[in-house]
Chains A and B, each alone.
Chain A
Amino acid sequence: DIVMTQGALPNPVPSGESASITCQSSKSLLHSNGKTYLNWYLQRPGQSPQLLIYWMSTRASGVSDRFSGSGSGTDFTLKISSVEAEDVGVYYCQQFLEYPRTFGAGTKLELK
């Protein structure tokens, strides 16, 4: 199984500052088709997860351009520029290259 390892944030994050969340996969998620099979989700308190980023760097419909995804085949970063109150929650990375689909353990973002 592909293991997804997420880093922690130096919480709380001051409002208006940027925040970067890291995720590492135990196997390259870069397919021969050139696409990287990684999603980022945000789960706000008491809500269902929401897709933020797919194919490592493509923003989902309606997602603020303050969110950006980047990385290589095994190391990934979700950057949130100018953190706002609505960004509070737990962020998950997920690989969809292979079954079983696997998620990282989650990274909590708290606002100062």
Chain B
Amino acid sequence: EVQLVESGGGLVQPGRSLKLSCLASGFTFSNYGMNWIRQAPGKGLEWVASISSSSSYIYYADTVKGRFTISRDNAKNTLYLQMTSLRSEDTALYYCATTNYWGQGVMVTVSS
């Protein structure tokens, strides 16, 4: 069974940093490009970042470029999102996802 389990969320003050992790199982993680997608409370889906299977290609939404870093460790079957200079508008449920599979999401709240 495919599982994507996010962790690392929480309440953080504006300007601070947070690192999300996503542990993958049930499929060959190293063969798949991965994505972070977020959903602000009561809002729609917003793509955040993508990374190719070997980390050769990385893309970011303009809203997070320069502040967020996506990375992966294929030996650990884990996807990461390092978030810095957090803003209130980054408050959202963050999903780790392939095209076919999504995790349950991890909540990030940016507030003083």
Residues of A that sit less than 8 Å from B by CB:
39, 41, 43, 48-51, 54, 60-61, 90, 92, 94, 96, 99-106
Contact = CB atoms under 8 A, between A and B. Distances in A.
A17 B44 CA distance: 26
A39 B99 contact: yes
B45 A103 contact: yes
Given A48-B104, A99-B50, A100-B62, A92 B45 contact: yes
Given A100-B61, A101-B50, A49 B99 contact: no
B31 interface: no
Contacts of B103: 48
B99 A96 contact: yes
A101 B47 contact: yes
B48 to A, nearest CB: 9
Interface string B62-97: 100000000000000000000000000000000101
B99 A106 contact: no
9 contacts: A39-B99, A48-B105, A49-B97, A51-B99, A92-B44, A94-B47, A99-B59, A101-B50, A103-B45
Nearest to A54: B99
A49 B62 contact: no
A100 B59 contact: yes
Contacts of B104: 48
Interface string B13-55: 0000000000000000000000100000000111100100000
A60 B100 contact: yes
Contact of B102 (A49, A54, A90, A96): A49
Given A92-B44, A103-B44, 7 more contacts: A43-B45, A48-B104, A51-B99, A100-B47, A103-B47, A104-B44, A106-B45
A105 B44 contact: yes
Contact of A103 (B46, B97, B100, B105): B46
Contacts of A106: 44-45
